[in-house]
Amino acid sequence: MTHHSPEITGGVDTHGLTHHAAVIDPLGRHLADREFPATIAGYRALLDWMRSHGTPTAVGVEGTGAYGAELARVLAAAGIAVVDVDRPDRRTRRMKGKSDPIDAYAAATAVASGRATGIPKSRDGVVEAVRVLRVTRRSAVKARTQAMNQIRGMLVSAPAVLREQLAGLDRSVLIRTAARLRSAGDLSTPLAATKAALRRLARRHQALDAEIAELDAEIGPLLKQAAPELLALFGVGPETAGQLLASAGDNPEHMLRGRLRPPRRSRTDPGILRPHAPPPAQPRRRPGREQRPAHHRAGPHALRRTHPRLRRTPHQGRPVKEGHHAMPQALRRPRDLPRTNQHTNAANHSNQPCSCSLTSIGASRAGRNGPAATRQRATASKAASGGPGHRPQRGTPRPAARTPARSWSGPPGSGGAAPRRGRRPGSRDRATAPRR
């Protein structure tokens, strides 16, 4: 009877000094977990410990581009499939906690369930060498730019003698001139201290120039070895080719397996659910100079709207009332304005208002002076005064009595009555004034 070891799935939570590993069975049950040092001996001990629990089918490793890079290389060299696992999201950490064993089991569970499918970069070829050299070159370029900016900024506030000496020089000439500046032994003066600072910055700039040139000489042959066809393309230089290779890695197939997914459909295709569905309606907006469809044409060659999708539905809006319509006052005829004949005589025209040519002002005045408007004003005034026998309620202010004003027609000799002494024309008598 042959004994077969069970299949297991591993997960590793990587750190700078230690790695915590865990294994689960095909059903997701936790078997064991253990911590190992992040050394060559620790990597071998971790692999042997996993094999003691069964045959590892795949191992999920967190941080395959950082702390887990060497462990991923060791596992791949041993023939074990390595899966790049992201750290658990905040919801999972909040519900299940955060610790090294929990993260290791979460990595193994993500691989076993199929949620984690990312293939890490192998980082074991020429492309990895190009990447690390480009990292050094990028930092050197940044430092050289910073040194040049400091030189130009220092010249702004430098003494006039030194500023006029270095003003208007090209970058290369400026660097060579500043590198040859000499200062006295005493640096207590601003001129001597500025010369010493400019000399050091210029020499740093020259050293960085030499370092960048050496890195370019080392990266060039590696690029020709890794991708000569890429360098042969028009417009592709060492910098562009190096960036493309560093992004792809030594195993470009990892971008097609697990990394790049097919785009999701934002909207379900109607042809899948309804194979015999009618064609979609034509859009309203069409590009210029495009012929209108037959069912939108007008004339004898127009297509009859027999298809239900091509029929226009009537506007289902609320009915607009006459009084609510947004029509100007000049175009709306008042209801109480009597109709007159345009061919009546002059006597009828003098007694009845003419409605044949009314402006907006005339229409509004006719509406206010109609019989209905007069009746409404009479009813409102009667209700306000209370009418005969009406007694206002307690607390209601009594309306003031309106008395005709007395006008002064002239001096006593002109036939008009002179106002009494102490009164102004138009003032009220004390007897007719309302009581309070």
Average pLDDT over residues 205-224: 96
Answer whether residue 240 shows pLDDT above 70.
yes
- Residue 403, pLDDT > 90, answer no
Domain ranges of the chain: 7-113, 126-251
In percent, how much of the chain has pLDDT > 70? 57
Averaged over 25-29, what is the pLDDT?
92
pLDDT over 60 (residue 73): yes
Summarize pLDDT for 251-300 with one digit per residue, the tens: 887 776 544 344 444 444 444 344 444 555 555 555 555 555 555 555 55
Of 27-41, 71-85, 129-143, 280-294, where does mean pLDDT reach its minimum? 280-294
pLDDT at 337: 60
Q: Kindly indicate the confidence band of residue 357, based on its pLDDT and cuts at 50, 70 and 90.
A: very low
Q: What is the pLDDT of residue 34?
A: 95
Tens digit of each residue's pLDDT (9 = 90 or more) over 305-314 = 555 555 555 5
Kindly tell me if the per-residue pLDDT of 340 is higher than 60: no
Q: What share of the chain in percent tops pLDDT 90?
A: 46
Query: Can you tell me the mean pLDDT for 114-136?
Result: 91
Least confident of 15-24, 58-67, 388-397: 388-397
* Average pLDDT value for the chain: 75
Q: With bands split at pLDDT 50, 70 and 90, how would you rate the model's confidence at 185?
A: confident
CATH class of the domain at 7-113:
alpha beta
Q: Which has more confidence, 138 or 366?
A: 138
The pTM of the full predicted model, rounded to 2 decimals, is 0.54
Integer Cα distance of 296 and 281 in angstroms: 12
User: Per-residue pLDDT averaged across 363-378, rounded?
Assistant: 60
